[in-house]
Amino acid sequence: MTIRMSRAQLEVVLAQANAEAPRECCGLLLGTDDVVAKVLPAQNKAAELPEPRDPQVYYHIDDRTQLDAVRLERELGWEVIGIYHSHPASPARPSETDRALAFWQTPHYVIVSLADPSRPDVRAFRITDRTDARGTPVTDPAGNPVRDVVDERVVVTRRPIGNVVNEEVVVR
């Protein structure tokens, strides 16, 4: 599977990741099918949760951004096709926490690693609940869902989405 975004959209995500480091940045990607129409940067409210979390290794998208996404879905017919966040000091792979908290099954999860700040690494994944042959969710001994991670491609276009030509594959 692939998620497509324009170079300008990717630059918005990278600028946010760099500006918010060493905290994780986060946001939503809205669009249709696998094509991003709008990047919605969010505030990471991890430190303000009822059980505060360290925003350097955890993210929580603020309520205002989530409400804006719902409004845009209704007004423009878009849907949340991706959730992005950064890993300021670790690889662009879903952590145990990322997998445990991947409650949405349909969007792409896009992770920006700044482990090497001179070469940000952007990767996309699907995180889905594992099921057995009968379609029953598989759980671990503690009763938590077992989640599978599938690598996806991020394709960045040189031109704005809507006139997709001259694609450049950033991540395989």
pLDDT score for 160: 55
Q: How confident is the model at residue 129 (pLDDT cuts 50, 70, 90)?
A: confident
The chain-wide mean pLDDT, for the chain, equals 90
- Assessment of whether the complete model's pTM goes beyond 0.85: yes
pLDDT of residue 168 exceeding 60, the answer is: no
| Mean pLDDT value of segment 134-145 | 92
Beta strands in 25-78 (DSSP E): 26-32, 35-42
Q: How confident is the model at residue 167 (pLDDT cuts 50, 70, 90)?
A: very low
* Contact indicator for 122, 111 with CB cutoff of 8 Å: yes
Helix (H) or strand (E) holding 64, with range, is helix 63-76
The Cα–Cα gap between 40 and 80 comes to: 10
Question: 45-62 in b/e burial notation, b at 16+ Cβ within 10 A?
Answer: bbeeeeeebebbbbbbbe
- Encode pLDDT of 52-91 as tens digits: 999 999 999 999 999 999 999 999 999 999 999 999 999 9
pLDDT of residue 140 exceeding 60, the answer is: yes
- Encode pLDDT of 145-164 as tens digits: 898 898 888 999 876 555 43
| Mean pLDDT value of segment 96-115 | 90
**Domains parsed from the chain with CATH numbers:** 2-171 (3.40.140.10)
